[in-house]
Amino acid sequence: MEAQVEAGTGATGGLDGNETSAPAALLASGLGKRYGSVVALDQVGLSVAPGELVGLVGANGAGKSTLVKIACGLVRPTSGTVTVYGMPAGSREARRQLGYLAELFRFPLWSTASEVLALHQRLAGSTRGESERDELLELVGLSDVAGRRVEGMSKGMQQRLGIAQALVGEPKLLLLDEPTSALDPAGRRAIRTLLLELRDRGIAVLLNSHLLGEVERICHRVVILAGGKVVADGRPEELTHTGGVEIQTANGTRRFPDARRQDIPKIVSELVSAGVDIYEVTVIRSTLEDAYLEAVDPS
């Protein structure tokens, strides 16, 4: 099993121990969807708390897009329920609370960034006009290209414009489908920074992505779907596990594969007592990719 160095994420704080009576931003219960003989979702239960950033991962055909479309009201479930801040998914009230960015979105190439947002303001019934457009373009780092046509924008700019349109009308929940899949590392970092800003503003986000490293880095929780079922749900550090300790010494690397974090003081003390010079101590953790592979194929 591959492993990576353990690092503090800082992305999972802020929700621990904060019990609230407010309804979940998104709540799916006993959710099922069949297309003829094909079962897309099977008794799925999932929740996203207000202000929480949740990663939804799974292979193609696992049911991720179906779940998101049901939450948007674009697809009706065969069984179960989905609510958005306590309101039935697809209802007018629920739709006012959410913003959506599809994976394969397209904007008119001849439209400017400001015109794209104006169009979506009309569709969403937002009356905030230019002030809202200016705020959203500033938020996503596009203030200086408000008058640029879509055809003259890079893929990263278009992706950020897509997130801006999803934020029209001040939704409290964002459903994002692969927002960084076609971007280079710099573009992914820009979107990642933006998502953390949205999280800090208290906006709940359900992030559908196959880039497990990105999900592990920024999400409070990760939900893994396989065969239309939830096979794992937890914080990244709960789904991964320690894989031993490595110690860099003057004589090379010493590995302790069964050691845990709490074993480090004893190990270091014994090595120092034996006259070994120590330069670095590293706790090794499995990756989210490892956890994903174990969850979808436990054999």
Regarding whether 200 and 175 lie in a shared domain, the answer is yes
Regarding whether 292 and 232 lie in a shared domain, the answer is no
Regarding whether 266 and 209 lie in a shared domain, the answer is no
Regarding whether 285 and 199 lie in a shared domain, the answer is no
Q: Which residue's structure tokens are 């090794």?
A: 284
- What DSSP designation does 145 have? G
Residue 91: the pLDDT is 93
* Segment 80-128, tens digit of pLDDT: 999 999 999 999 999 999 999 888 788 999 999 999 999 999 988 898 9
Residue 299: the pLDDT is 59
CB neighbours of 30 closer than 8 A, spacing ≥ 6? 43, 44, 45, 79, 80, 81
pTM over 0.75: yes
Backbone angles phi, psi at 108, to 5 degrees: -55, 125
CA–CA separation, 82 vs 108, rounded Å? Answer: 32
> What would you report as the CA-atom Rg of the chain, rounded to the nearest whole angstrom?
22
* Segment 134-187, tens digit of pLDDT: 999 998 889 999 999 999 998 888 988 998 999 999 999 999 988 876 677 877
Strand partners, 245: 256, 283
Which two three-digit tokens encode residue 68? 């998101």
Q: Which residue, of 222, 239, 256, is where some domain finishes?
A: 239
Regarding whether 211 and 68 lie in a shared domain, the answer is yes
pLDDT at 270 over 80: yes
Domain that holds residue 250: 242-296
Q: Which residue has the higher pLDDT, 51 or 7?
A: 51
Regarding whether 165 and 136 lie in a shared domain, the answer is yes
CA–CA separation, 116 vs 164, rounded Å? Answer: 10
Regarding whether 256 and 230 lie in a shared domain, the answer is no
Regarding whether 254 and 181 lie in a shared domain, the answer is no
State the CATH number of the domain containing residue 232. 3.40.50.300
Angle at CA of residue 199, ends 49 and 143, nearest 5°: 145
pLDDT tier for residue 6 given thresholds of 50, 70 and 90: very low
